[in-house]
Structure 1
Amino acid sequence: MKIAVLDDYQNVALECADWTSLDAEIEVFSEPFAGPDEAVARLAGFDVVVAMRERTPFPAAVLDRLPALKLLVSTGRRNAAIDLDAARRNGVVVSATGALAYPTVEHAWALILAGARNLPVEFRSMREGGWQIGLGMGLRDKTLGLLGLGRLGAEVARIGLAFGMRPIAWSQHLTQERAAEHGVTAVSKEDLFAQADVLSVHLVLSERTRGLVGAAEFAAMKPSALLVNTSRGPIVDEAALVDALRRKEIAAAALDVYDVEPLPAEHPLRALDNAILTPHIGYVSRETYEVFYGGAVQDIAAFQTGSPINVLN
């Protein structure tokens, strides 16, 4: 059996799990493929592919061209980059692994604090021999707006309460009773954007949420507001965000996710002083990777015995 482990940017996959239990030849790919044609060419002949989250897409146009592929392991259960119907049609079992929520919550708060206290600018000033640059914003008594109050949004709200913030939230089906369970006030979408001092995105990307935060929403926000997105890039209209940041319609944005990943080197977001950018590392922690890769080994071992587990399709 030949196993391909994809997009291991840090070269840690083999040390985060015991792969020796598998009777297999394993090849690790640390660089992203340039596109679907390269993915097909490089993965030809592999029986098993372990996909790191949604870094490499597996649409029908790729799966139809990988006749040797029999098992595709998704790290985490939700992976919009895999066409499950096409996989089933091609006889490819798609199995999932467990995941951890708290690293992303912690990273959301790292971005909130970095944005509130202008940390990237202050870091750069210190390295360049300077001193204080800006005036930070305290979080106590400020309004924490949550676009989505699922598992992650609720955890972000809990920490916001510890900072003395007032959490409010909106999503399409959020009720006042559900919000109150987490110490949060449910508000209208309009009030969420108008009132939030910090607005953190915690929705699943879908056709309903794609482009949900756009020019009208930025225009409604406070000029002192901070937008934080650790969910999925396309939930926020990227062009509208760049325009809002350039015109100082909002104070700053702290982003971990983008429309195109890796973010192109010449992307306009990279040139904006009020854009705090991290390379989609919200979930990237040793603990998460041990769950991902340990689960992948278990999925492959079960598949080898003829009894696949954690099957998505």
Structure 2
Amino acid sequence: MRKWKVVVTDWEYADLRYEEQVLSSEQIELVAVQCRTEEEVIAACRDADALINQYAPISRKVIENLSNCKVITRYGVGVNTIDLGAATEKGICVANVPDYCMDEVADHALALILAWTRKVVVANQAVKNGVWDFKVTQPIARLRGKTLGLVGFGKIPQALAEKVKPLGLRVIAFDPYVPEAVAASYGVQIVTLDQLCADADIVSVHAPLTEATEGLMGAGQFAAMKESAIVINTSRGPVIDEQALIHALRTGKIAGAALDVVEREPIDTDNPLLSMDNVILTPHVAWYSEEAAAEMRAKAAMGVVDVLLHGEYPKYLVNHEVKASVPLQECCPEARYAALV
């Protein structure tokens, strides 16, 4: 009997042990490649039954050349590497792993908030340069009583809202898809984006990258903010118009930024953000812990198992419209997934 061919299109890990454990079936052949271009993906995956994807482009051109593919899963939350419309038209299920790093990203956003407001980076550098003087951090404002504005109110910002409660922050959020009652259950008020920008002392961006959210935070939003406000981003770089942010930082329209993501990654060596004293940068690390990485990889592989071995829609199906043309069973993976975490 022919084995199911599962291709990992690209990865950045030392090995694929978690994927191999989940896909250790006599019915599955696991093939690992390192594709960077559309042509490389097509050559490696033309006859594949499933793809596990990290950064390699799964464009319409690629999808139209997949003759057997039934499911594409992606490491992590974002699926912007995959043409969802083309996948749906082709009858391919697309799945992600939306819940593997909620605490990690919320923790990192909180760390950036505290690092910036308490001038931790400034103080650390001063001490290492031989300056033992608290005045290098002036001014520092008390955090309690300030307003935190969350752009997006999904699982990660909900976790962040819980984590900041002991700090005495007022929390507001902009998210047109979240009912006010849900936000209220976290003690959070839903507001418009304009109101959030005007009221917040700290703006923390958590919106996923979509056509609707690209450049969501732009010149108009920065112009509406307090000059003392700071911007945190642990979502995706292009959600912020980077040139508008740089201008706002240079002109003092806002006080600072702490960014785990930028428009182009790795960051360009001539990016002005690198030379700004009022900016903290980390290298897209908010998602990471050893436990989160293992969970993400195992769950991405399990999405393939859902479809190929169990005939079910993947637990984390993204393109629900595919159900109109692909008749699978609803996923019942509680025990299957519980064993992974």
In the superposition, the TM-score normalised over structure 1's length comes to 0.82
Corresponding residue number in structure 1 for 2:248? 244
Corresponding residue number in structure 2 for 1:8? 11
State the aligned residue count. 308
Range with bigger deviation, 208-217 or 194-203: 208-217
Corresponding residue number in structure 2 for 1:201? 205
Indicate conservation of the 8 Å contact 1:16/1:290, yes or no: no
Corresponding residue number in structure 2 for 1:121? 122
Q: Output the CA distance in 2 between the equivalents of 1:128 and 1:43.
A: 53
Mark the runs of 5 or more structure 1 residues left unpaired by the alignment: none
Corresponding residue number in structure 2 for 1:24? 29
Please give the residue correspondences for 1:89-238 in structure 2 after superposition, counting only pairs within 5 Å: 89-90=89-90, 92-97=92-97, 99-100=99-100, 101-132=102-133, 133-135=136-138, 136-172=140-176, 177-238=181-242
Q: Output the CA distance in 2 between the equivalents of 1:267 and 1:68.
A: 43
**Distance change (3 Å), C-alpha of 1:104 and 1:226:** same
**Distance change (3 Å), C-alpha of 1:208 and 1:77:** closer
**Distance change (3 Å), C-alpha of 1:174 and 1:305:** closer
Q: Output the CA distance in 2 between the equivalents of 1:299 and 1:124.
A: 45
**1:263 is paired with a residue of what secondary structure?**
coil
**Distance change (3 Å), C-alpha of 1:16 and 1:198:** farther
Q: Deviations for 1:244-281, whole angstroms, at most 9, x for unmatched residues?
A: 11222211111122323333333232232222122222
Deviation at 1:199, TM superposition (A): 0.9
Deviation at 1:102, TM superposition (A): 1.8
Please tell me the root mean square deviation across aligned C-alpha atoms, in Å. Answer: 3.1
Range with bigger deviation, 254-263 or 13-22: 13-22
**Distance change (3 Å), C-alpha of 1:19 and 1:203:** closer
Corresponding residue number in structure 2 for 1:286? 290
**2:257 is paired with a residue of what secondary structure?**
strand
**Distance change (3 Å), C-alpha of 1:39 and 1:284:** farther
| Alignment partner of 1:263 is 2:267 | yes
In the superposition, the TM-score normalised over structure 2's length comes to 0.76
Mark the runs of 5 or more structure 2 residues left unpaired by the alignment: 323-341
Q: Deviations for 1:4-49, whole angstroms, at most 9, x for unmatched residues?
A: 43553342542576257144344264xx83x544554565675543
